[in-house]
C-alpha cells in the first residue's frame, strides 16, 4: 500500500482572517470579453461568453478533461440490491468501471431509492471515507481503495471499525422520506486524494501514448472527481427508478469544490450544491481571506491543474474569479452554504461569489442576491440559495434541511 503525507488538513497559521485586512480588489468583468465585447442577452451568454469563461476555468484552474475515450461499464448485480428503511426503500451498489483489462479502476455507487410508482429526484455526492462510513447498514461493502489514516483507519485501509462513522453527514432516512433518492460514492475510488504524480486513480487511463502525467492545462484530482460524478449521472440515466433530469450534485469542502466544477461542466445536473467549499470552490480568491491560492497549491498540489500554481500570491492575475464559476451554472439552480466558524473557507467570500453572479442570472430575469443574511437564516432567491449556518466546518442536518427545501421549491 502506498503511503502518503497527511493531507487531510490544509489549515495554516499566519493566514488573514480579519475583514479589515482584505485588500482592495477588482473582479474580472463577468460580462465583458477580452476584446471588449459586452454580453447583453441570453444568446450572447450562451453562444459566446459562457464558452470563454468555461475555457478560462478549464485552462487556468481545474484543467482540461482529456479527449481520449475510455470504456465505461456499469455493473448491477441483483445480489447487491436489498430493501432498507423497513421496506420503504431499495438500496443497491453499482460498479462503475473505468477502462478495461489490466488497466481499470472501479468505483462503487451506493444508491438508496424510495419505493415509488414514478422516477424520483436524487441527491448525488461523494463521501470522504468510503460508502460504508455513510451508514450503519452492514451490507454496504467496504472500499479497498486507499483511505486516509485517521480514527479507526490504519495503513490506509478501510475496515468494519469505521462503518457508520460519517452517518450524521448523510441523513438518508430523512432524504428518502422527502421523496428523494440518495447516491454516494467514495471519491478515493476514482482518484486517491494524495499527490503521487497521477499514477493511481483514473488519470493514467487517459494518458496518450508515452504520457506519464497530465500536462500543465490538463485535469488534476478535482477534474477527475468531477468526471466520476458525470459517469454516475450516465448510470442514473439508465436507471428507470430515478429521474435523471432531477439530479442535484452536492459536496462538502473539497468535495464542494468538486460539485461546483461538476455542475459548471455538466449541464445535465439539475441543482448544484456547495457546502463550505471555500478556496477553489465558492470563495472569491481576490479577497485573500482564509485559505489562499498559494496555501492550497502547496498543501494539495494535485487538486488543480499545474497552470493554477502560476497564481500563487498573484490572485489579481487569475483571469477568472469564482463568481464566474457560479455564473457557469446559470440558469440552473445553485446553492452555497457557509458556516460561521469556518473562517478558513471565507463565508463572506462564498456569499459574494454568488452575489457577483447577478448579471448572468439577471439575463434570465432573476433579481439580485442583495445582502448577506445573518447566521441561521437562509435566502432563497429564485435559482440561487445561500445560508450561513452557526457552527463549524461540517455538513449537518440543518444544511440538508435547507437543500431539501430548495430542491422542493424547484420541483414545483
Ligand atoms: C482543508 C482545505 C480546504 C478544504 C478542506 C476539506 O484542509 O484547506 O480547502 O478542502 O480541507 O476538504 O475538508
pLDDT beneath 70: ranges in the chain: 1-11
* Ligand 1 mean position, distance from CA 221 (Å): 14
Q: What is the pLDDT of residue 11?
A: 67
131, part of any domain: yes
What distances in angstroms separate CA 59 from CA 168, 220, 286, one per listed residue? 37, 11, 19
45, part of any domain: yes
**How crowded is the C-beta side of 350, counted as CA atoms within 13 Å?**
35
16, part of any domain: no
Please work out whether the CB of residue 11 comes within 6 Å of at least one atom of ligand 1.
yes
Please work out whether the CB of residue 253 comes within 6 Å of at least one atom of ligand 1.
yes
Q: What is the pLDDT of residue 14?
A: 74
Residue of 182, 171, 76, 172 lying closest to 121 (CA atoms)? 182
253, part of any domain: yes
> What are the grid coordinates assigned to 283, written together?
470563495
Q: Which of 33, 116, 159, 393 is catalytic?
A: 393
Q: Which of 145, 221, 253, 259 is catalytic?
A: 253
4, part of any domain: no
Q: What is the pLDDT of residue 8?
A: 54
Which ligand 1 atom minimizes the distance to the CA of 7? 7
What stretch of H or E contains 252?
strand 242-252
262, part of any domain: yes
216 close to 254: Cβ distance less than 8 angstroms: no
DSSP 80-140: EEEEETTTTEEEEEEEEEEEETTEEEEEEEEEEEE--SS-EEEEEEEESS-GGGG---TTS
The total number of structural domains in the chain stands at 1
Q: What is the pLDDT of residue 10?
A: 62
Q: How far apart are CA 219 and CA 115, in angstroms?
A: 38
176, part of any domain: yes
* CATH number of the domain where residue 97 is located: 3.40.50.1820
Q: What is the pLDDT of residue 2?
A: 37
66, part of any domain: yes
Q: How far apart are CA 399 and CA 376, in angstroms?
A: 10
Q: Is 393 a catalytic residue?
A: yes
Print the domain residue range for 269: 27-411
End-to-end CA distance of the chain: 49
Q: Is 285 a catalytic residue?
A: no
Burial pattern 116-134, b for ≥16 Cβ within 10 A else e, equals: eeebbbbbbbbbbbbbbbb
Q: What is the pLDDT of residue 7?
A: 46
Please work out whether the CB of residue 9 comes within 6 Å of at least one atom of ligand 1.
yes
The residues with which 163 forms a beta bridge, in sequence order, are: none
Please work out whether the CB of residue 79 comes within 6 Å of at least one atom of ligand 1.
no
pLDDT digits (tens, 9 = 90+) for 98-123: 999 888 999 999 999 999 999 999 99
Amino acid at each position: 500500500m502506498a503511503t502518503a503525507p497527511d493531507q487531510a488538513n490544509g489549515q495554516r497559521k499566519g493566514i488573514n482572517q480579519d475583514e479589515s485586512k482584505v485588500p482592495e480588489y477588482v473582479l474580472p468583468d463577468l460580462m465583458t470579453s477580452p476584446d471588449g465585447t459586452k454580453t447583453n442577452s441570453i444568446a450572447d451568454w450562451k453562444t459566446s461568453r459562457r464558452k470563454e469563461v468555461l475555457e478560462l476555468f478549464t485552462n487556468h484552474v481545474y484543467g482540461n478533461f482529456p479527449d481520449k475515450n475510455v470504456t465505461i461499464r456499469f455493473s448491477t448485480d441483483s445480489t447487491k440490491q436489498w430493501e432498507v428503511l423497513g421496506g420503504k426503500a431499495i438500496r443497491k451498489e453499482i460498479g462503475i468501471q473505468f477502462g478495461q483489462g489490466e488497466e481499470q479502476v472501479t468505483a462503487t455507487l451506493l444508491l438508496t431509492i424510495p419505493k415509488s410508482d414514478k422516477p424520483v429526484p436524487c441527491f448525488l455526492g461523494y463521501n470522504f471515507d468510503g460508502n460504508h462510513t455513510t451508514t450503519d447498514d452492514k451490507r454496504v461493502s467496504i472500499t479497498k481503495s486507499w483511505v486516509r489514516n485517521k480514527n479507526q483507519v490504519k495503513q490506509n485501509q478501510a475496515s468494519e471499525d469505521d462503518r457508520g462513522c460519517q452517518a450524521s453527514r448523510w441523513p438518508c432516512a430523512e432524504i428518502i422520506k422527502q421523496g428523494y433518492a440518495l447516491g454516494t460514492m467514495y471519491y478515493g475510488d476514482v482518484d486517491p486524494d494524495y499527490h503521487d504524480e497521477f499514477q493511481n486513480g483514473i488519470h493514467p487511463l487517459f494518458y496518450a501514448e508515452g504520457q506519464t502525467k497530465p500536462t500543465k492545462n490538463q485535469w488534476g484530482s478535482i477534474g477527475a472527481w468531477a468526471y466520476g460524478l458525470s459517469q454516475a449521472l450516465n448510470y442514473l440515466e439508465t436507471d428507470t427508478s430515478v429521474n435523471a433530469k432531477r439530479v442535484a450534485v452536492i459536496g462538502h469542502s473539497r468535495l464542494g469544490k468538486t460539485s461546483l466544477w461538476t455542475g459548471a461542466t455538466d449541464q445535465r445536473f439539475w441543482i448544484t450544491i456547495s457546502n463550505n467549499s471555500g478556496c477553489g470552490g465558492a470563495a472569491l480568491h481576490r479577497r485573500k481571506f482564509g485559505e489562499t491560492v498559494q496555501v492550497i497549491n502547496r498543501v494539495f498540489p494535485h487538486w488543480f491543474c499545474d497552470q493554477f500554481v502560476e497564481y500563487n500570491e498573484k490572485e489579481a492575475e487569475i483571469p477568472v474569479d469564482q463568481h464566474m464559476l457560479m455564473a457557469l451554472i446559470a440558469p440552473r439552480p445553485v446553492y452555497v452554504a457557509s458556516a460561521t466558524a469556518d473562517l478558513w473557507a471565507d463565508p463572506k467570500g462564498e456569499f459574494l461569489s454568488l452575489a457577483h453572479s447577478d448579471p448572468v442570472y439577471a439575463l434570465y430575469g432573476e433579481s439580485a442576491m442583495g445582502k448577506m443574511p445573518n447566521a441561521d437564516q437562509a435566502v432563497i432567491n429564485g435559482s440561487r440559495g445561500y445560508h450561513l449556518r452557526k457552527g463549524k466546518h461540517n455538513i449537518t442536518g440543518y444544511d440538508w434541511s435547507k437543500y431539501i427545501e430548495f430542491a422542493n421549491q424547484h420541483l414545483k
